[in-house]
Amino acid sequence: MEIKRIATPLTLDVIEGLHAGEKVFLSGFIYTARDSAHKRMIETLKRGEKLPFDIVDQVIYYCGPSPAAPGRVIGACGPTTSSRMDAYAPILLSLGLKGMIGKGKRSAAVKDAMRQYKAVYLGATGGAGALLSRSVISAETVAYEDLGPEAIVRLGVKEMPLFVINDVYGNDLYDAGASQYKR
């Protein structure tokens, strides 16, 4: 299987060149955010305030990294279940978010928003947080430090191994895989 090497910020050309089922190595900067951070971001928007980082063409990783061991940039940083962010994702996609990383299926509303706003959902292997942390070359908390591991952290990543789960064409790797084995 060919591996595509992509980098942030995600451009429309890159996004339109990705297809469900492809393996990618992602490099650049991404932002971690889980449930609590997403809730705060939406509350911030409802108050008419700016988000704590420029979301346009960026990628959010649904992850709450564990503390770094001595000599390490970060602790384990595995994906969390993405469906917990489904209520928030369409709003962020409408503001220019271009990529999301997590594990598990997405709702129809999120998949529709990805097609409408031209964004992708990338899957990280659950249970492999220690291995995924090897791709992290820098980590800096940028917002909501009081949330601890659920704070928004800007990660520098190099060749983070991921799969394209949902593309801009409405394809879904989970659905495609399941249909191969139906009788």
**Residue-level pLDDT at 174:** 86
Assigned token pair, 46: 């409802």
In a domain, 93, yes or no: yes
Q: Is 19 noted as a catalytic residue in this protein?
A: no
How many domains does the chain contain in total? 1
Domain-embedded: residue 181: no
Give the DSSP letter of residue 146: G
Does residue 182 sit within a domain? no
- Of the listed 34, 38, 103, 106, which one is catalytic? 38
Q: Which of 122, 121, 114 is nearest to 169 (CA)?
A: 114
CA 56 to chain centre: 14
Is 141 within a domain?
A: yes
Instruction: Give the DSSP H/E element, type plus range, for residue 58.
Output: none
Range of the domain at 67: 3-121+129-159
Rounded-to-integer distance, Cα 122 and Cα 10, Å = 12
- Cis before residue 9, ω within 30 degrees of 0? yes
The model carries a pTM of 0.94
Whether 147 maps to a domain, the answer reads: yes
Name the more confident of 104 and 175.
104
Reported as a single tens digit per residue, the pLDDT across 87-142 is 999 999 999 999 999 999 999 999 999 999 999 999 998 777 888 889 999 999 99
Q: Is residue 50 part of a domain?
A: yes
Phi, psi of 14 (to 5 degrees): -65, -50
Here the CATH number for the domain that contains residue 155 is 3.20.130.10
The answer as to whether 177 is a domain residue is: no
Mean pLDDT score of the chain: 93
Closest CA to 65 of 52, 83, 46, 78: 78
Which residues lie below 8 Å from residue 43, measured CB to CB, with a gap of 6+?
Answer: none
- Residue 181 has what pLDDT? 65
**Letter string b/e over residues 15-39, b meaning 16 or more CB atoms within 10 A of that residue's CB:** beebebebebbbbbbbbbbbbbbbb
Q: Is residue 24 part of a domain?
A: yes
Lowest model confidence (mean pLDDT) among 13-27, 70-84, 159-173: 70-84
In the predicted model, is pLDDT for residue 183 greater than 60?
Answer: no
Pairs from 46-53 (Cβ < 8 Å, separation ≥ 24): 51/95, 52/142, 52/143, 52/144, 52/152, 53/142, 53/143, 53/152, 53/154
